[in-house]
Amino acid sequence: MKQTTKKKVVASGVALSTIGVTSYVLKDQSRKDKLVETLKAVRNKVQNMFRDRDQEVLEKAGHPHPHDIEDNKMVSEGAAFAVNYYDEKEK
């Protein structure tokens, strides 16, 4: 059997198994409710994780620490880029 055929057979088997298990789980209303609640909890957890990270980035951007060498280096390189760009445009 060719390698691509084996991959297709395995992928089909996994897909059919997933469909079968999902159908079985969703057949019972209490299981369906439990699955929906679990998915909502996971979604909220992921959203909060990204929201917290975005908030940290915004706070750091507004209040850089003077002893954060890497951040200060990045800011100085950014400032130098803008000055160099302006100088090149003027020439």
Cα distance between residue 67 and residue 62, in whole Å: 15
Contact 24, 35 (CB under 8 A): no
pLDDT band at 63 (very low <50, low <70, confident <90, very high): low
More confident residue, 8 or 61: 8
More confident residue, 16 or 48: 16
Cα distance between residue 8 and residue 1, in whole Å: 11
pLDDT tens across 73-88, in order? 766 666 667 667 767 7
